[in-house]
Structure 1
């Protein structure tokens, strides 16, 4: 089985280097790594000679969905394509566990267990994340495969042959950071097989805040994307309404005393513009690109 690792990145070379270091300690190494950035300069040019697997750099337009689709087109010869964020530290047995998971031909998509997630707070420093995952590596974990409908794009493995044969790609109508692009693709792919979570494939998501979208942009996406996916058929109406309302409530409450690491007021403004567009029947995820121009 050939496993390729795809990483979309934007101007976060230091943490990307640490993410590559975690690939070096895998008990089962990747067959190759494909890094996609909007820059023509390879951010890992100095690493090619000191790693035991090929690293390829491909350039793309800015945007997570566009960059990941560029990786899909570039992958070519692999059985499993594992997407990880450029700030996701893999446990040492992650790839070995995924290889075991995909030995089952009915499984077409799998995600692992995120044991710590800095996206829910101010973010984790690389050294702190390294300590967490190293301590976790020293323990044994049962494989424990469960069915799931909710992928987490920071670590998502796809059966490449099914992906290509069915012509499935990330939806580029979800711009920049995506927001639910992972669930959308997972559910479309799951029409052709099983979608699972493997408890023994473990990792830590740093949740680095640099390089992410503005508060207004994300706030608009929090309204537009779930509604768009409901209309598309990959989200239930209850899920879409629940997601939009939870985020609106969190931003409304948080805007009174916002966290230092979250632009709550910007998100709330984006939410309100999204609700206005919904009422005017012009809501669409791509409108988020114009958030800096709108009031």
Structure 2
């Protein structure tokens, strides 16, 4: 028998089309682990898009309901291909990283936010734990955290922000319109979510909400090598400042924070972070800035 709550969810589903886009490279196992959490949502997604480079990125036995889009690698390009495929036919677009595990009520809670607050154009959810900061979180541990810490009727606790966290963000499709991720930021596209938010902010409110939750596992496999990331840590903020999607103060703090962290950690380097590579990339980026030759796309030349 359908409860009153389930009836409300069903009614919302009839009116809202939610597309989930996952951009992935070389993480077949993580995709295989993520998909059941998408198809067991209390409010099922209208469409699930997997944007990859080649067949080797796709796990065996993938559900037929998953739409596969293939093209050249690069987070921004892969996300844009996903956007192009659904932007004119859905109401909400959700981006999850391939190593993110959402709570079962996440999609329903996302829709509730956009339905209740028409002025909100984008939202980032609550990350219960982030493995990026601790060398990764095992899948079983992530599931336990989601099951034990997420709650079925969480308080909204909505806060206005000026950026998004790309591992767990939702966008109002109508507000996105012609806005796309900047493909000048190649590979992992460091700060691409901040840049996208900077473009979207003129359309309405961007918020952080505790209502949709999950765990970012922070899997190390498939991430940008140390020297390349170190280059992006210096060059990308300057590029975004010049573009107008990042304030100069935030850009400066971000650059200095990463340079200091990378060099201080050279003394006691974490086993899961290539601080030497990052420091090397920092110096190459600084040299390119001083010589007027910095360009985010030059990350592809860094060894």
Structure 1 length-normalised TM: 0.94
Q: Which residue of 1 aligns with 2:202?
A: 191
CA distance in 2, matches of 1:40, 1:266: 30
Indicate if the aligned counterparts of 1:114 and 1:205 stay in contact, CA closer than 8 A. Answer: yes
Render the CA deviation track for 1:252-291: whole Å, top value 9, x for unaligned.
Answer: 0111221110000000000011111111111111111100
Question: Helix, strand or coil for the counterpart of 2:147?
Answer: helix
Q: Which residue of 1 aligns with 2:19?
A: 4
Q: 1:77 aligns with which of 76, 79, 89?
A: 89
Q: Which residue of 1 aligns with 2:106?
A: 94
Question: Helix, strand or coil for the counterpart of 2:144?
Answer: helix
Q: How big is the shift at 1:10? A: 0.7
Indicate if the aligned counterparts of 2:24 and 2:50 stay in contact, CA closer than 8 A. Answer: yes
CA distance in 1, matches of 2:18, 2:57: 21
Indicate if the aligned counterparts of 1:97 and 1:143 stay in contact, CA closer than 8 A. Answer: no
Q: Which residue of 1 aligns with 2:35?
A: 20
Question: Helix, strand or coil for the counterpart of 1:27?
Answer: coil
CA distance in 1, matches of 2:279, 2:63: 44
Instruction: Give the aligned length.
Output: 286
Q: Which residue of 2 aligns with 1:39?
A: 54
Q: Which moved more, 1:207-216 or 1:73-82?
A: 73-82
Q: Which moved more, 1:99-108 or 1:78-87?
A: 99-108
Q: 2:248 aligns with which of 237, 242, 246?
A: 237
Q: 2:193 aligns with which of 160, 182, 187?
A: 182
Q: Which residue of 1 aligns with 2:261?
A: 250
CA RMSD of aligned residues (A): 1.3
Question: Helix, strand or coil for the counterpart of 1:46?
Answer: coil
CA distance in 1, matches of 2:137, 2:79: 24
Closer/same/farther in 2, CA of residues 179 and 6 from structure 1, 3 Å limit: same
Q: 1:108 aligns with which of 115, 121, 124?
A: 121
Unaligned runs of 5+ in 1: none
CA distance in 1, matches of 2:146, 2:40: 12
CA distance in 2, matches of 1:47, 1:97: 26
Q: How big is the shift at 1:60? A: 1.5
CA distance in 1, matches of 2:131, 2:239: 27
Q: How big is the shift at 1:40? A: 4.0
Indicate if the aligned counterparts of 2:127 and 2:216 stay in contact, CA closer than 8 A. Answer: yes
Closer/same/farther in 2, CA of residues 159 and 45 from structure 1, 3 Å limit: farther
CA distance in 1, matches of 2:57, 2:296: 30
Indicate if the aligned counterparts of 1:42 and 1:57 stay in contact, CA closer than 8 A. Answer: no
Q: Runs of 4 or more off by more than 3 Å in structure 1?
A: 137-140
